[in-house]
Structure 1
Amino acid sequence: MTKQSLTGKRIAFLATDGFEQVELTKPWEAIKAAGAEVVLVSPKDGSIQGMNHDEKADTFEVDQNVASVSAEDFDGLVLPGGVANPDALRTCEDSVSFVRDFFKQHKPVAAICHGPWTLIEADVVRDRKVTSWPSLKTDLKNAGAQWVDEECVCDEGLVTSRNPDDLPAFCDKAIEEFAEGKHAEQSAG
């Protein structure tokens, strides 16, 4: 497969305290290596706490507050998992609106593990084929999604994966979708 170039693209990573560190760092490194500018967006200023499962890992400096950015400023979005991270994001209206706007603008979005919780709150999974950490299966089905247990699922620019073991496929597919750009069928509920 030809290496995809993301030169000239800006990709937002939306996260807050409690994100699964490897689900942010591996896609970050891969997308940056493909040439994109990567931007850490959060509802919190300063730094946010990464996790290695249930143990504290590193902290990361936030580049921009979600209240001060727009999906128009970016070419794609990555939603890392971890349990606390998406649970907090889905209760933050600025974060939910930010996510929803990527779908309204037909831009690719990649969510892994518990990341789809925020997609449910944004009401953008109805009639879409997705995967996630297994405990989100019922939540996603109740939100109208078709949940499958597969390494990586792509539905019109929405890339989802289950867990850190899926990161190689998740990163490759996210880069492919970010390189492709807008998707006519990508839309918000």
Structure 2
Amino acid sequence: MTQQGNSVSGKRVAILATDGFEQVELTGPKEALDQAGAQTTIVSLKPGSIQGMNGDTELGDTFPVDQTVEQVSANDFDALLLPGGVANPDKLRTNKQAVALVKAFYDSGKPIAAICHGPWTLVEADVVRGLQVTSWPSLQTDLRNAGASWVDETVVTDRGVVTSRNPQDIPNFNRKMLEEFAEGDHSQKRQQS
């Protein structure tokens, strides 16, 4: 990633999350992006802060929201990160503006990385049809019903969409996320499908 044109340095990355996100699935990728020189922005449904979770029942830390979905568009960013956690994507996928934002990222060819339950929001945005993806195992039927080909692998990349299953996959997820985000525009790959 030291080659010119193959870096995330200076790239603007939206991290779309709300209360109930799996903390390590936000902090691990965000740290990797920040260390590689990307500019990360936490985008949420409301201003203030959002509550992280450590697993399903243990409260994690709170994180300040940089901007709300009403304040941003896909044009403001180069890439999108969707952390998991059960409650987080379940809330996001019921918010029309959040879903429209995800769809706009996909339709404009921008890379997207979604881990664990994060692909639920991709299902709602109707962007997984024809993609090979992975996720937390309980999402496989939802993803298949939405037209995706679900596989049980550590990390899957298809047309600029990076997906992983769980927190243990974060090292591989981060590596592929950085590669795809550095590559940039995936419009041609998506049009050819």
Query: Would you call these one fold, judging by a TM-score over 0.5?
Result: yes
1:25 equivalent in structure 2:
27
2:108 equivalent in structure 1:
105
Q: How many residues align?
A: 188
Equivalent of residue 59 in structure 2, options 45, 48, 56: 56
Per the TM alignment, residue 73 of structure 1 is displaced from its structure 2 partner at its CA by 0.5
Residues 16-48 of structure 1 show CA distances to partners (whole Å, capped at 9, x for unaligned) of: 000000000000000010100000000111000
Equivalences for residues 34-183 of structure 1 within 5 A: 34-53=36-55, 54-183=57-186
> How many angstroms apart in 2 are the aligned matches of 1:127 and 1:178?
21
Task: Give the AA of the match of 1:8.
Answer: G
| Length-normalised TM-score, structure 1 | 0.96
> How many angstroms apart in 2 are the aligned matches of 1:181 and 1:46?
30
Conserved 8 A contact 1:111-1:160: yes
Task: Give the AA of the match of 1:27.
Answer: P
Q: Which runs of 5+ in 1 are unaligned?
A: none
Equivalences for residues 9-24 of structure 1 within 5 A: 9-24=11-26
Q: Which runs of 5+ in 2 are unaligned?
A: none
> How many angstroms apart in 1 are the aligned matches of 2:170 and 2:33?
12
Q: CA RMSD in A?
A: 1.4
Equivalent of residue 185 in structure 1, options 169, 189, 192: 189
Q: 4+ residue runs of structure 1 moved beyond 3 angstroms?
A: 1-4
Per the TM alignment, residue 2 of structure 1 is displaced from its structure 2 partner at its CA by 5.4
> How many angstroms apart in 1 are the aligned matches of 2:117 and 2:58?
17
Residues 22-81 of structure 1 show CA distances to partners (whole Å, capped at 9, x for unaligned) of: 000000000010100000000111000000002100000000001110000000000000
> How many angstroms apart in 1 are the aligned matches of 2:21 and 2:72?
20
> How many angstroms apart in 1 are the aligned matches of 2:28 and 2:112?
16
Conserved 8 A contact 1:107-1:186: no
Per the TM alignment, residue 103 of structure 1 is displaced from its structure 2 partner at its CA by 0.8
2:189 is paired with a residue whose SS is: coil
